[in-house]
Amino acid sequence: MRCRSFNRVAVGFGFCLLNTLTATQDAFTEDLPSWLRSGEYLAEDTYVADATVRRGNHLIDDFTESDSILRFVFTPRIKLGVLRLGAEWERFTFDFPSGAQLPDTLQSASLVVGLDTQFSDSILLRVEAQPGFYGTGNLNFEDFNMPFIIGGTYIYSPNVQFVLGVGVDVERKYPVIPGAGVRWKFARQWVLNAVLPKPRLEFEAAKNLTLYAGANIKETGFRVGSHFGDRQGHPRLNHALLTYSEVRTGLGADWKISSILTLTAEAGYEPYRTFDFYRADVRYREDGSAPYGMISLHGAF
């Protein structure tokens, strides 16, 4: 209960902060150096209900999940392109029953360090790393990791862009995951934004309102505590690496409240989830889909 309360307070604080920045945008940017007057932000919370996972005959059911994200990145322009300098915090909280062989909290706190650059009029490149701590409730230096992505965009035309990239996380079960996609505006109000990890089909219902159907694919490596396995009666899980994966599919709406603030609401089902202690050969899989709801505030200035 304490973790969940902290979760809600942190996200609520993030929402209030973003609203304050929106209301005082001019004053905020005037007080910053010129190279820090552009950036992007995200405050998001997702609630998943009535979930179940299974390992063989062992079933953990009727638990809920809360996934909260706070992200702020400055995007100053330099000769090489656009720097990406900021920080991100994400916390998964699960209300597992006592004795469950899974951690009730997965948490990361990281920096964001990257660069967007342009090779030609048609080719763009992004390199971004997130050095930080990826663990459970209490983060420490043993949880340090530095996942990164390298991706490129080829602008075929104003309506068609192709994307190719790779994500690397040495502590994940599959350290290297390639990806490809396309963004295609095939009609005046329709866009196929088939780019991982959030592919979606968008419909511009109004100037400031976009409806969509899509998915969100997550896969992150975490390290559990040094005595986690002892508490569960399985010492081989002490300090073990855990790859957490989930896929959400749903319908949503983006409401652009102002030039720097967009409110997004989404609801759907989560058909896939795994907790994989891959080196210890302990894996729990989703046993049936679970409903979820998500709300976020995000934008750029």
The mean predicted confidence, pLDDT, of the chain is 90
Q: Which residues have C-beta within 8 Å of that of residue 20, sequence separation ≥ 6?
A: none
Residue that wins the pLDDT comparison between 25 and 211: 211
Pairing between strand 290-300 and 261-277? antiparallel
Q: Looking at residues 208-215, what average pLDDT do you find?
A: 98
pLDDT confidence bin for 120, thresholds 50/70/90: very high
Contact 92, 224 (CB under 8 A): no
pLDDT at 220: 95
How far is C-alpha 258 from the chain's CA centre? 23
pLDDT confidence bin for 232, thresholds 50/70/90: confident
Percentages helix, strand, coil for the chain (3-state, rounded to 5) are: 15, 60, 25
Pairing between strand 105-118 and 58-74? unpaired
Stated pTM of the model: 0.87
How distant, in Å, are the alpha carbons of 144, 147, 158, 221, 269 from that of 131? 7, 7, 34, 13, 31
Q: Looking at residues 205-227, what average pLDDT do you find?
A: 96
Q: Looking at residues 85-99, what average pLDDT do you find?
A: 94
Give the range among 5-9, 33-37, 195-199 with minimum mean pLDDT.
Answer: 5-9
Q: Domain 2-300 carries which CATH code?
A: 2.40.160.40
Residue that wins the pLDDT comparison between 230 and 212: 212
Q: Looking at residues 147-170, what average pLDDT do you find?
A: 97
pLDDT confidence bin for 275, thresholds 50/70/90: very high
